[in-house]
A = this chain, B = another copy of it.
Amino acid sequence: MPQLKFNIRSDRNILKREVISQSLKKTDLFANLPSKELDLISSVCCLRKLKKNEILFLDNDYYTGFYCVAEGIVKIFKTDKEGKEKIIHIFHSGNTFAEVPVFENIDKIYNGEAKFPANATALMNSTKVILIPAIEFHNIIKQNSTICFNLLSSLSKRLKMLQSQLFDIKFQDVTKRIANFLLSEIENKKDIEKIYKRDAVNEINLDISKIDLAAYIGATLETLSRTFKKLQDSGLIQVKGRKLTVLDYKGLKSILN
């Protein structure tokens, strides 16, 4: 009964595509995109499931397109000549990453010369990512100014974020960077109103290890640990494993300047 088999596959594809378009809708890039365009894009995407520490792509792999995290966490990193890992970024569900090459050198992509600039692995089991193939995507946005505009706005936000990160790392010490991290996590929570998740607004549940957090903040694990202790001793926060509680929001804010 090949007919039946075909139907099952087809259903599965429809389901998959539904997952894809639902996930894409949650990104900056594709939010408020008419569903017609969203479907069009979803139709060319692939979903991939990753185990913890599974490699998504490696530095110098041929670039095929960019990704969206549908579920879980993805870490972008390089390794230096001693094999030490340098974390560049950590992406959560709803983030897109590796978009830059699409706009930067589309010719190279057409010629199959573009490479990924870093490594990517999953930080959690059953991390799901969506591949948005560069060339197909490019063809779609060529004719669609809404997407272009969204892209511009999304890239601008990323640009702004990077600029402030650069400023922080250049001019703020580790304590300030950590305070900043904590405060913006809390702010984020207020925004997204994760309150339904039953954890208080002043609580942060780290979904990454402290090693990764340290690398993300631009410090070593030891320094992070010591700084947490210092902040805890002065009554500003409480650290219990991966649960961080901000006890004194204003006090924490005041150390930023």
Contact = CB atoms under 8 A, between A and B. Distances in A.
Interface of A: 78, 80-81, 86, 88, 99-104, 117, 142-143, 145, 148-149, 151-153, 155-160, 162-163, 165-167, 169-171, 218, 257
A166 B218 CA distance: 10
Given A103-B155, A145-B145, 13 more contacts: A81-B257, A88-B163, A99-B156, A100-B156, A100-B160, A101-B156, A103-B153, A103-B156, A104-B160, A148-B152, A155-B156, A169-B169, A170-B218
A156 B169 CA distance: 21
Contacts of A155: 103, 152, 155-156, 159
Contacts of A170: 86, 169, 218
Nearest to A87: B170
Pick the 6 closest A-B CB pairs, nearest first: A148-B148, A103-B156, A103-B152, A104-B156, A162-B162, A155-B155
